[in-house]
Structure 1
Amino acid sequence: MHRQDNNRFARESKTMPVAKLRPKSYRELLETFSIAVPENYNFAFDFLDAEAAQDPTRPAMIHIGPDGTRRDLDLAYFSKESARMANAFKAAGLAKGDKVMIILYRRVEWWVTMLALHKLGAVPVPSPNLLTPHDIDFRVNYAGIKAVVAEDSVVDRVEAARAACPTLTVCVQVGASPLPAGWLDYETIRAAAAEDFPRTAEAPGGDDSLLIFFSSGTTGMPKMVEHSHAYPLGHLTTGVYWHNLEPGDVHLTLADTGWGKAVWGKFYGQWMAGATVFTWDFRGKFVPSELLDVMTAHKVTSFCAPPTVYRFLIREDLKKYDLSALRYCTTAGELLNDGVFRAWKEITGLSIYEGYGQTETCLQLATFPCMTPKPGSIGRPTPGWNVVILDEEGKPCPAGVEGEICLKLEDGKNLGLFTGYLQEPAKTASVMVDGYYHTGDKAWMDEDGYFWFLGRTDDLIKSSGYRIGPFEVESALITHKAVVEAAVTGVPDPVRGQAVKATVVLAPGYTGSPELAKELQEHVKKETAPYKYPRIIDFVAELPKTISGKIKRAEIRAKDESREI
């Protein structure tokens, strides 16, 4: 159990919002921030139900449906509906510890289902809607999943896998499509359930399993990442301090509900900060102009998205849109290019504050409001997290020297760190070494204590004695108007050991050619250290990616090894 004493949160109540600290410096933030975990904490009971009882009409969500319909929902709605669905799932045969795969779009039922399972003690496994029958088969059998709550458009894929999944005994469909045999209809079981689900002595909380994420598996089969019921409190820093939310803010994190970023940016921390979660349930391809229309029409005040999204947005005529309500912007997931940072600030007047974390953690590093943003830096350690850079011998690296991002495991801290990889103790042990959690990510720290991300340890390129991070080169490439996306890898070279190779997706109107390749090489030499430029450029229609959208550099390397470059 994580504990620290003398905390405002513990003294006042288990609910939020808390009185927000307003430090004038990063040092003051570290010195004044603390958090305690109440005994047997359960977000659904201790925050949602308690806060709804005190302030039932407090805005919780603005939901924009696929047809543009807006729904305004308060805390009382989620408290009542999650209780009702907890009863419905219990009646369907689910109990504490049962694993439940959730494959839903950004519809309100996703939040209700998550909260209902938190109350019941069943363990949600949020899953992307792009899963194939093979993916579903693997996950259900590997995790021993008992139930699935699925979008009607996904049901056929679940059915295709179901015969090979003996543990899958409870199937619930959300949507208006005809109900397949053996499936329960969400609305039908909801309507038959009582609205009251009281907390009992056996209720889940504390160290009990809260949820499981499947990692995206860029270098192997996905792993099951487990978090306990203390995990939501780890996102206090996400919502209150990194997103810098205030009561009344309308916050939009552009993330799919199948991945960890949804609970980072559309759930726990934002509600604890007193903000309203803005949910845009768009289906199909992302269209930048539609996003801007929605943000303008509904006066979004806080926005978080990957740098790729910002790159698309600055290509639009932003002067056509009234973004005057927008006051704060954050980003994570990739490196933020300096050009994107400056273009966005020039047009909107707003800086973009970066953050870093993993499926296994909460926010580890960030640029907080009391810090000056350095474009491309992932910030400084989050309060309560002792993050260091270690060399290959496990010794701290001095400023300017690259190493691995590691978290010192300290009793009473690390709130939000995963409990382990389920069913894989050896893999868990391989990342928990000598009192540190090893992230597998490379970075360096500057003289001011800011961290600069380089890439996964497996992705680093060793060329002519230099160690080159792929993100550095990719960041340079995407500043060229011809480049939409780029993946940088190393290929064997008899002289250099490895040569830098760029696999590039071009913008419409551009065609790959030796002349363009030369132009891109010269561009990189101007944007970063010349020795980092890609000696080989491969133009492709699309990059290989995981279903979470991460580039599969290992797949690119494997293809290169099977043929001569």
Structure 2
Amino acid sequence: MTWLSCCLSQSLWGTYCSYLNACAGFQSLLASDVYSQYQAVRRGEQEIPKYFNFASDVLDKWSEIEKAGKRPSNSAFWWISGKGEEVKWSFEELGFLSRKVANVLTKVCGLQKGDRIIVVLPRIPEWWLVNVACMRAGIVLIPGTSQLSAKDILYRLQASKAMCIITDDTVAPAVDSVASECQFLKTKLIVSKGSREGWLNFSELYKNQSADHSCVKTRIEDSVNIFFTSGTTGSPKMTEHSHGSLGFRPLLSERYERYWLDLTPSDVIWSTADTGWILTSLTSVFDPWVFGSCIFVHQLPQIESATILNTLCRFPIDTLVGVPTLYRMLVQNDLSSYKFMNLKHCMSGGEPLNPEVMEKWKSQTGLDIHEVYGQTETGIICSVFKGMKIKPGSMGKAAPLFDVQVVDKNANILPPGQQGEIAVRSKPIRPLGLFSEYIDNPKKTAESERGDFYVTGDRGTMDEDGYFWFIGRDDDIIISSGYRIGPFEVESALMEHPAVAEAAVVSSPDPLRGEVVKAFVVLSATFSSSDREHLACELQEHVKKTTAPYKYPRKVEFVQQMPKTITGKIKRHELRNKEWGRM
């Protein structure tokens, strides 16, 4: 038996086949030659294909089914601005428009297969068009949150050697301030109603461009996305994902995706994640479109409880995906005064969700919250599937196609109940879904492997029933409102201020965000200030201007000295343990 057939239990496979038989649209899709091949791969009868492109092999197939009248009359993409503007695209329209954008990137910008492009856009339709267009052209897309500072953008442009950047009026000034230091950057595209010197207007170009474009042939191991992750002791790492790990993976594990997303071609899914994170790529691009579902997007300049709740009442959203902070915000409202139109499935990921929040949401809405767990490097590897028993505080069981274990420092598998590091078996065969490598950082790539496993850096336990329980990071990464923040960048920003002699950054408990960034600061001997409260605000503003605003320390404590090792290294773990009452 192959590694794949070993993953598929007979009972679950029977359930999955029953689902396919009930889904006429997807059954038609699987009847095509290319999807018959995927079925054979899933059954272990055939090797994983050499070539794959999500745009041509999935999206265009749904377009064919749509034109044949075998898919429900449901949009593929549905966007609202919150101010009355609305965009709806079918799969056919998505294909037409994304081909025009692909021609902009290749014919106007001169980008070729394998070139890299940084895209820093909010939740606007152009972000989705660029994603699909890059797949068609074989261009590697590097997403970034709109909160990136000029320093963040400079680092990303230099590290990635990106030849093009696409952004809007908000971020363009920051790009202009550093562009002269980026020797590889050749083209700047702006999504704007107006013009800006030195920039090409994206909107005007793609509207006037031809839709005649042939999708390039991409190998399944070719890069499709690069995500920057936060580091504990250095700059963010470039995490590479392939066409296989993001696009082909859900085709192999559809029954799993069916259980955690619970989607059909008739369903509408709304993920509130920021466009800079892998969760958006998973829940608002690849996984829903495998099932031909409708991806709903609200521009959401700010996450506000009233806006979220009113949207759920006004629109036929079946599935909601959000970070725990979202649900913590929502349950602070009187939910009995809201009547959701269609909502039937709620999911939470990015950090652990408080059991009391789950209970309150359930009591007022009648809906369970299903937790999922994953990383930039892995995608979703654990989940509470729909219909599975919910154990409050647990992030569920391992996803099919992944062998997830809890291991010790020597990569030995630990028995149920023992605390260790959550890990994914990566040898002898690396599962499709894991990242390819940390680009230009073979040392970090090697360090992520221990024995036969990729180690996540997260500590946890597994119980007798196979449920996993998250305990905390094994390093110093701070997870706040779903954002993963490395202390190094925040400490570096603080050290630039003349008042700071030393700085250490750790997580601190917070009832809304789960945890927040806290800075311990030793003042410079030459600096004296009796107004510590004012100084704390000044340091916070300094960090906001130096790096992405979401990273700023919401708590600041001034200390006389730091706990250190014999070699002089600050003991962050001591500060963190004290903050969490573990001393």
Choose the corresponding residue for 2:248, options 211, 226, 233: 233
What is the CA–CA distance in structure 1 between the aligned matches of 2:133 and 2:151, rounded to whole Å? Answer: 28
SS where residue 76 of structure 2 aligns?
strand
Choose the corresponding residue for 1:310, options 321, 327, 334: 327
What is the CA–CA distance in structure 2 between the aligned matches of 1:389 and 1:551, rounded to whole Å? Answer: 33
Aligned AA (2:277): W
Aligned partner of 2:364 in structure 1 is 347
Q: CA deviation at 1:375?
A: 1.2
Choose the corresponding residue for 2:151, options 134, 138, 148: 134
Pick closer, same or farther for the CA change 1:337–1:423 going to 2, 3 Å: same
Aligned partner of 1:262 in structure 2 is 280
What is the CA–CA distance in structure 2 between the aligned matches of 1:401 and 1:557, rounded to whole Å? Answer: 37
Choose the corresponding residue for 1:112, options 129, 132, 136: 129
Alignment of 1:7-156 (within 5 A): 12-13=31-32, 37-56=48-67, 58-91=74-107, 92-156=109-173
What is the CA–CA distance in structure 2 between the aligned matches of 1:233 and 1:115, rounded to whole Å? Answer: 15
Q: CA deviation at 1:450?
A: 0.7
- Looking at secondary structure, tell me which structure has more helix per residue: 2
Alignment of 1:428-507 (within 5 A): 428-459=445-476, 478=511, 486-487=515-516
What is the CA–CA distance in structure 2 between the aligned matches of 1:17 and 1:295, rounded to whole Å? Answer: 37
Q: CA deviation at 1:383?
A: 0.1
Aligned AA (1:362): G
Aligned partner of 1:427 in structure 2 is 444
Q: CA deviation at 1:15?
A: 7.1
Aligned partner of 1:191 in structure 2 is 207
User: Does structure 2 conserve the Cα–Cα contact (< 8 Å) formed by 1:404 and 1:443?
Assistant: yes
Number of residue pairs aligned between Structure 1 and Structure 2: 487
Q: CA deviation at 1:54?
A: 2.4
User: Does structure 2 conserve the Cα–Cα contact (< 8 Å) formed by 1:147 and 1:170?
Assistant: yes
Q: CA deviation at 1:456?
A: 1.0
Q: CA deviation at 1:179?
A: 2.1
What is the CA–CA distance in structure 2 between the aligned matches of 1:490 and 1:188, rounded to whole Å? Answer: 46
Aligned AA (1:456): R
1:406 pairs with 2:423: yes
Aligned partner of 2:525 in structure 1 is none
SS where residue 297 of structure 2 aligns?
strand
Question: Which stretch shifts more, 160-169 or 365-374?
Answer: 365-374
1:363-421 CA distances to partner (integer Å, 9 max, x unpaired)?
Answer: 11111124201111111110010011101222111111100011111456622110000
Pick closer, same or farther for the CA change 1:15–1:308 going to 2, 3 Å: farther
What is the CA–CA distance in structure 2 between the aligned matches of 1:327 and 1:271, rounded to whole Å? Answer: 19
Aligned partner of 1:210 in structure 2 is 224
User: Does structure 2 conserve the Cα–Cα contact (< 8 Å) formed by 1:58 and 1:75?
Assistant: no
SS where residue 401 of structure 1 aligns?
coil
1:280 pairs with 2:298: yes
What is the CA–CA distance in structure 2 between the aligned matches of 1:14 and 1:153, rounded to whole Å? Answer: 46
Choose the corresponding residue for 2:315, options 292, 295, 298: 298
1:473-510 CA distances to partner (integer Å, 9 max, x unpaired)?
Answer: 988x73xxxx665459999xxxxxxxxxxxxxxxxxxx
What is the CA–CA distance in structure 2 between the aligned matches of 1:560 and 1:204, rounded to whole Å? Answer: 55
SS where residue 333 of structure 2 aligns?
coil
Q: CA deviation at 1:153?
A: 1.8
Aligned partner of 2:483 in structure 1 is none
Aligned partner of 1:222 in structure 2 is 236
Q: CA deviation at 1:33?
A: 11
What is the CA–CA distance in structure 2 between the aligned matches of 1:220 and 1:214, rounded to whole Å? Answer: 12
1:457-477 CA distances to partner (integer Å, 9 max, x unpaired)?
Answer: 1259xxxxxxxxxxxx988x7
Aligned AA (1:160): S
Aligned partner of 1:418 in structure 2 is 435
User: Does structure 2 conserve the Cα–Cα contact (< 8 Å) formed by 1:216 and 1:547?
Assistant: no
Q: CA deviation at 1:311?
A: 0.8
Q: CA deviation at 1:71?
A: 2.0
Question: Which stretch shifts more, 184-193 or 347-356?
Answer: 184-193
Please report the TM-score for the alignment, with normalisation by the length of structure 2.
0.76
Aligned AA (2:239): V
What is the CA–CA distance in structure 2 between the aligned matches of 1:490 and 1:387, rounded to whole Å? Answer: 34
User: Does structure 1 conserve the Cα–Cα contact (< 8 Å) formed by 2:540 and 2:554?
Assistant: no
What is the CA–CA distance in structure 1 between the aligned matches of 2:208 and 2:474, rounded to whole Å? Answer: 52
Identity of aligned residues (%): 31
User: Does structure 1 conserve the Cα–Cα contact (< 8 Å) formed by 2:517 and 2:551?
Assistant: no
User: Does structure 2 conserve the Cα–Cα contact (< 8 Å) formed by 1:15 and 1:47?
Assistant: no
What is the CA–CA distance in structure 2 between the aligned matches of 1:418 and 1:243, rounded to whole Å? Answer: 22
User: Does structure 2 conserve the Cα–Cα contact (< 8 Å) formed by 1:228 and 1:419?
Assistant: yes
User: Does structure 2 conserve the Cα–Cα contact (< 8 Å) formed by 1:367 and 1:380?
Assistant: yes
Q: CA deviation at 1:270?
A: 0.7
What is the CA–CA distance in structure 2 between the aligned matches of 1:556 and 1:153, rounded to whole Å? Answer: 33
What is the CA–CA distance in structure 1 between the aligned matches of 2:322 and 2:105, rounded to whole Å? Answer: 33
Q: CA deviation at 1:313?
A: 0.3
Q: CA deviation at 1:541?
A: 9.5
Q: CA deviation at 1:102?
A: 0.3
SS where residue 384 of structure 1 aligns?
coil
Q: CA deviation at 1:65?
A: 1.5
Aligned AA (1:356): Y
User: Does structure 2 conserve the Cα–Cα contact (< 8 Å) formed by 1:252 and 1:300?
Assistant: yes
Two-structure CA RMSD over aligned residues (Å) = 3.7
Q: CA deviation at 1:223?
A: 0.2
Aligned AA (1:186): F
SS where residue 55 of structure 1 aligns?
helix
Alignment of 1:356-375 (within 5 A): 356-375=373-392
Aligned AA (2:289): W
Unaligned runs of 5+ in 2: 18-26, 68-72, 478-506, 521-532, 534-538, 564-569, 579-583
User: Does structure 2 conserve the Cα–Cα contact (< 8 Å) formed by 1:388 and 1:406?
Assistant: yes
What is the CA–CA distance in structure 1 between the aligned matches of 2:102 and 2:88, rounded to whole Å? Answer: 22
Choose the corresponding residue for 1:245, options 239, 250, 263: 263
Alignment of 1:308-347 (within 5 A): 308-347=325-364
1:384 pairs with 2:401: yes
Q: CA deviation at 1:433?
A: 2.7
What is the CA–CA distance in structure 1 between the aligned matches of 2:160 and 2:405, rounded to whole Å? Answer: 33
What is the CA–CA distance in structure 2 between the aligned matches of 1:446 and 1:490, rounded to whole Å? Answer: 35
1:50-102 CA distances to partner (integer Å, 9 max, x unpaired)?
Answer: 22122146521110115232222111111111111111111121101111000
What is the CA–CA distance in structure 1 between the aligned matches of 2:110 and 2:423, rounded to whole Å? Answer: 42
Q: CA deviation at 1:178?
A: 2.5
What is the CA–CA distance in structure 2 between the aligned matches of 1:421 and 1:19, rounded to whole Å? Answer: 29
What is the CA–CA distance in structure 2 between the aligned matches of 1:210 and 1:484, rounded to whole Å? Answer: 32
User: Does structure 1 conserve the Cα–Cα contact (< 8 Å) formed by 2:104 and 2:205?
Assistant: yes
SS where residue 194 of structure 1 aligns?
coil
User: Does structure 2 conserve the Cα–Cα contact (< 8 Å) formed by 1:233 and 1:269?
Assistant: no
Pick closer, same or farther for the CA change 1:487–1:150 going to 2, 3 Å: closer
Q: CA deviation at 1:205?
A: 3.2
Aligned AA (1:47): V
Q: CA deviation at 1:146?
A: 0.4
